[in-house]
């Protein structure tokens, strides 16, 4: 089974909470909203801030806000920030760097590369703004 990590899943959940918020949200508020443990939330927020998806404000009235508009944040970018390149097979992660000893004679390398690109494009077509809608309709999103 191909699956992203729990931390990546949590990152997207937290980003949706931040995107829906009016104003800044503290780590504690986000942990409570998402029903996630504070240490995990803190870890994820640091990664998201480092990649400029979030900006943090210190102080009594501090918290987290989106680093840019939710419509500009692509789900593929969030996944890649936490997981690395989107890759269904070893050769699609880093083509041409001898990641697989069978790469030169592989009859399915090209189709896998094409499938990998389709998956990445699908994830790139969905924005954080799309994810915040209460009625998510996949047909409205350009795939």
Structural domain range at position 27: 1-134
Helix (H, G, I), strand (E, B) or coil at 25: strand
Query: Which position has the higher pLDDT, 138 or 130?
Result: 130
Closest of 1, 36, 30, 26 to residue 15, by C-alpha: 30
pTM of the model: 0.85
Q: Is residue 13 part of a domain?
A: yes
What is the chain's mean pLDDT, rounded? 88
7-37, pLDDT tens digit by residue? Answer: 999 999 999 999 999 889 999 999 999 999 9
Angstrom distance (rounded) from CA 41 to CA 63: 13
Count of domains in the chain? 1
Q: Is residue 140 part of a domain?
A: no
Q: Is residue 141 part of a domain?
A: no
Angstrom distance (rounded) from CA 58 to CA 36: 22
Q: Is residue 76 part of a domain?
A: yes
Confidence of residue 65 (pLDDT cuts 50, 70, 90): very high
Q: What is the CATH number of the domain that holds 86?
A: 1.10.10.10
Q: pLDDT at position 126, please?
A: 94
Query: Which position has the higher pLDDT, 27 or 142?
Result: 27
Region for 63 from its dihedrals, namely left if φ exceeds 0, alpha if ψ lies in -120 to 50, beta otherwise = left
């Amino acid at each position: 089974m191909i699956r992203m990590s729990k931390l990546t899943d949590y990152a997207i959940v937290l980003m949706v909470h931040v995107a829906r918020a009016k104003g800044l949200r503290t780590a504690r508020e986000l942990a409570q909203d998402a029903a996630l443990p504070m240490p995990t939330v803190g870890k994820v927020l640091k990664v998201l801030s480092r990649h400029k998806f979030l900006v943090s404000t210190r102080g009594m009235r501090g918290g987290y806000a989106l680093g840019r508009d939710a419509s500009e944040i692509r789900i593929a970018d969030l996944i890649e920030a936490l997981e690395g390149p989107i890759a269904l097979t070893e050769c699609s992660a880093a083509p041409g760097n001898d990641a697989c000893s069978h790469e030169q004679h592989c009859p399915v390398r090209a189709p896998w590369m094409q499938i990998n690109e389709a998956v990445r494009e699908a994830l790139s077509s969905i924005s954080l703004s799309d994810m915040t809608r209460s009625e998510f309709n996949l047909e409205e999103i350009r795939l």
